[in-house]
Structures are given as C-alpha cells and as structure tokens.
C-alpha cells in the first residue's frame, strides 16, 4: 500500500495557522502594533477604514527592516526575537512566535514599506494570499508601514462571520487602548475613516490613562504601589464610588503585556469587599513586573492568558496592596474636614 500522508504546502499551513492568530480585524491591529513596539518605535500611527474590514495600516518610526528581512518576515516561524527554546523564559518582546505576518499575509492583501535608519533606500513589497506579487527598492520613510487590505478575501466564511462595523471597531479600539496603556512613553494615534479618534503624546502613566478615558478619570484614580521579592506592582484603582455596573475598565499588565486573569481579578474584587454597591465592578489599571522566568506566555497564540509560577502569592499581594491603597484613600476626607 502506498503511503497517504503528505506535508501541507506553506500557503495552506499558513492559512490554518491564521485561523488561530487572526479572528477579526482587531487581531491584526494587535499583531502589527505590537511589532511596531518591538521595533523600538517612539511613534505609532494606526489607520483603519470600515472597522478594519477594508484597511488596517500601522506606521511606525522603529528600526525598519533590510531587503532580505522584508521578505523573510512573512515566512512562518521566522522571527528576530528568539533563537533558542530557553529564550521563551527570558522574553523582553511582545512577539516571539514568528507567525503573525505569515498568517496575515495568507488571508489578506498586504503592502509593506520599510527602511532602516542608516539605509538610503527602503523596500516596497506586496504579498497577497502568501504570494509575493512584487518587491522593489523604493524611497520610503524610515521605519515600517504595513497596510492590510481585504481581510479574509480568500475565506468567505470568515469574512461573512465578521460582526457590524460598530462591534468590530469596538474590538479594534480595545486592542489599541490596551497597547497604548501598556506603553505611555510611546506616541499613539488612531485615525478611523479619516477622522482622528485618539492622539496620545508620550507621557506618564496617569496622564496616559486620562488621555485614553477622558479628563474626568483623573480625580477617580488612587495610586497603588508595592515591591516584593516576586512582583513589583504600580498603577491605579478607581475610587469605589466610581465602580461601574458594566465590567468596565479593568486592566492587568504583566511585564508591559495586557493579560486577562479571572483569578487575579478576584483578588481586586476581594480588596474592594464591603466598599462597592451590589452589582458594581471596580475599575483598575495595574502594572505587574515579574521575573521573566516566573511566567509562561506561550500557552495561547494571542498571549492574553499567561501562567504564573506562584499565582496564589500574587493573589495575596495584590489583594493586600490594593486594600492598603484604598485604606489610605479613605483617610483623606477626614483630613480635609479637619482643615
């Protein structure tokens, strides 16, 4: 009997991988913006049309790519960010899987313009459905610009599955806000259908939160800070009276990466115990720095869930720290009264 197993061609493998990495326009936004951050950009501009269904463009002033890398970046498992398995436990970058651009190029029309600082000329490359259509030497600005058009053009089922522009744009803005909050020192702008939605100059953490959520946010914020052997926590919680009925603004960042954790969320809720009206949820912006080797980020392609070595200790520290900060805040009105 002849054997029946074969290796899938790259473009098929890429399309399969894309199913995991790219669920919707917002997934593309996340991957491109994170790449710009990893490239050391100090300014990142995101432009979307029709909630990203027709165009997602990310422009950065980061380190750019040379001619060879401009082609290689679309190969699967091609990355400049890790070389060894051990590197997974000393990650300083957002990316490491080398999958995002290969996946995106498999299911969209992608245009790349990139130039390194010390180069006179850059590269202009067009790739559609994993096939390079053209690659030319070109006069382009320093940094990198990726334009992603016609997402899911070759997967009609996926395209039809997309929600309304309003819903998809909400997801795009969520991703944008997460990365903007993670990196207050980077200038971010978001232009939606030709009009500016966000323009966030480089600043400190408090001002970035205010920039994203509006000037009324400032008075709501209670600072949180703690350093222990296993974690350094900084950030803010919103005063209990501003707790919301909707789940609202709840952000954990671990080593500058937005993550979701029901378990750690519970720690914050526990710190607010007795202070909240029934059915309301606390808002928080908490930034944890932990040793890179105490977490595993490689448990899901989108990397929003991570595994901690000692989750229970983190829980206890977060709960105590937030409780303490809220306690200090509660003292404030009494002092005001005495004045």
Q: Give the binding site for ligand ADP (CB under 6 A).
A: 31, 35-36, 39, 60, 62-65, 73, 78-81, 95-102, 144
Query: Smallest distance, Å, CB 263 to ligand ADP?
Result: 27
One DSSP character per residue, 192-218 reads: ETTEEEEEE-S--HHHHHHHHH-GGGG
35 lies in the site for Mg ion, by CB under 5 A:
yes
One DSSP character per residue, 238-281 reads: E-GGG-BSS---EEEEETTEEE--HHHHHHHHHHTTTTS-TT-B
Q: Give 255 or 283: the residue with its C-beta nearer to Mg ion.
A: 255
Helical (H) or strand (E) element with 308: strand 307-308
Q: Give 65 or 209: the residue with its C-beta nearer to ligand ADP.
A: 65
Q: Give 27 or 192: the residue with its C-beta nearer to ligand ADP.
A: 27
Asked if residue 39 lies in contact with residue 64, where contact means CB atoms within 8 angstroms, the answer is yes
Query: Smallest distance, Å, CB 36 to ligand ADP?
Result: 5
Among 100, 107, 221, 259, binds Mg ion (CB under 5 A): 100
CA 261, 262, 267, 273 torsion-angle sign: positive
One DSSP character per residue, 309-336 reads: TTHHHHHHHHHHHHHHHHHHHHHHHHHH
Query: Smallest distance, Å, CB 205 to Mg ion?
Result: 24
**Could you say which of Mg ion, ligand ADP, none residue 60 binds, taking C-beta under 5 to 8 angstroms by partner kind?**
ligand ADP
Q: Which stretch binds Mg ion (CB under 5 A): 15-23, 45-53, 84-92, 94-102?
A: 94-102
The whole-angstrom separation of Cα 28 and Cα 309 is 30
Please, which residues have CB within 8 angstroms of residue 145's CB and are 6 or more apart in sequence? 57, 58, 59, 60, 111, 112, 113, 114
Query: Smallest distance, Å, CB 244 to Mg ion?
Result: 33
Among 52, 62, 95, 143, binds Mg ion (CB under 5 A): 95
Query: Smallest distance, Å, CB 31 to Mg ion?
Result: 5
**Could you say which of Mg ion, ligand ADP, none residue 208 binds, taking C-beta under 5 to 8 angstroms by partner kind?**
none
Q: At what angle do helices 311-338 and 262-271 cross, to 10 degrees?
A: 30
One DSSP character per residue, 27-79 reads: HHHHHHHHHHHHTT-SEEEEEEEGGGTSEEEEEE-S----HHHHHHTTSTT--
Nearest to 35 by CA among 19, 13, 59, 69: 59
Q: Give 99 or 175: the residue with its C-beta nearer to ligand ADP.
A: 99
184 lies in the site for Mg ion, by CB under 5 A:
no
Q: Give 95 or 235: the residue with its C-beta nearer to ligand ADP.
A: 95
Q: Which stretch binds Mg ion (CB under 5 A): 8-16, 27-35, 152-160, 236-244?
A: 27-35
Q: Which residue is nearest to Mg ion (CB)?
A: 95
**Could you say which of Mg ion, ligand ADP, none residue 315 binds, taking C-beta under 5 to 8 angstroms by partner kind?**
none
Query: Residue 264: how many CA atoms within 13 Å on its side-chain side?
Result: 26
Q: Give 96 or 285: the residue with its C-beta nearer to ligand ADP.
A: 96
**Could you say which of Mg ion, ligand ADP, none residue 81 binds, taking C-beta under 5 to 8 angstroms by partner kind?**
ligand ADP
Report the SS3 class of residue 220.
Answer: helix
Q: Which stretch binds Mg ion (CB under 5 A): 63-71, 100-108, 191-199, 331-339?
A: 100-108
Q: Give 48 or 209: the residue with its C-beta nearer to ligand ADP.
A: 48
Nearest to 117 by CA among 68, 183, 60: 60
Q: Give 17 or 267: the residue with its C-beta nearer to ligand ADP.
A: 17
Instruction: Return residues touching Mg ion (CB under 5 A).
Output: 35, 95, 100
């Amino acid at each position: 009997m002849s054997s029946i197993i074969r290796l899938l061609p790259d473009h098929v493998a890429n399309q399969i991988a894309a199913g995991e990495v790219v669920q919707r326009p917002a997934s593309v936004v996340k991957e491109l913006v994170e790449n710009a951050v990893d490239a050391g950009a100090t300014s990142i501009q995101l432009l979307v049309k029709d909630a990203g269904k027709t165009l997602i463009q990310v422009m950065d002033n980061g380190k750019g790519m040379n001619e060879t890398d401009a082609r290689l970046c679309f190969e699967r498992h091609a990355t400049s960010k890790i070389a060894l398995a051990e590197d997974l436990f000393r990650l300083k970058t957002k990316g490491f899987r080398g999958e995002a651009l290969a996946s995106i190029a498999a299911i969209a029309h992608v245009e790349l313009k990139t130039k390194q600082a010390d180069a006179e000329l850059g590269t202009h490359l067009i790739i559609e459905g994993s096939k390079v259509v053209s690659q030319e030497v070109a006069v382009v600005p320093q940094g990198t610009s990726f334009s992603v058009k016609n997402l899911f053009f070759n997967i009609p089922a996926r395209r039809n599955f997309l929600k309304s522009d309003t819903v998809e744009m909400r997801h795009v803005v969520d991703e944008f806000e997460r990365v903007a909050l993670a990196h207050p020192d980077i200038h971010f702008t978001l232009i939606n259908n030709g009009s500016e939605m966000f323009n966030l100059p480089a600043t400190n953490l408090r001002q970035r939160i205010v920039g994203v959520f509006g000037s009324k946010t400032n008075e709501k914020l209670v600072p949180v800070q703690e350093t222990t052997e296993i974690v350094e926590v900084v950030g803010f919680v919103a005063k209990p009276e501003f707790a919301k009925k909707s789940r609202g603004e709840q952000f954990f960042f671990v080593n500058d990466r937005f993550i979701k954790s029901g378990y750690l969320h519970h720690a914050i809720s526990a710190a607010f115990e007795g202070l909240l009206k029934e059915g309301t949820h606390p808002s928080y912006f908490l930034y944890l720095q932990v040793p890179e080797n105490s977490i595993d980020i490689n448990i899901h392609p989108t990397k929003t869930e991570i595994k901690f070595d000692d989750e229970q200790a983190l829980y206890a520290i977060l709960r105590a720290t937030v409780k303490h900060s809220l306690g200090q805040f509660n003292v404030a009105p009494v002092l005001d009264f005495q004045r």
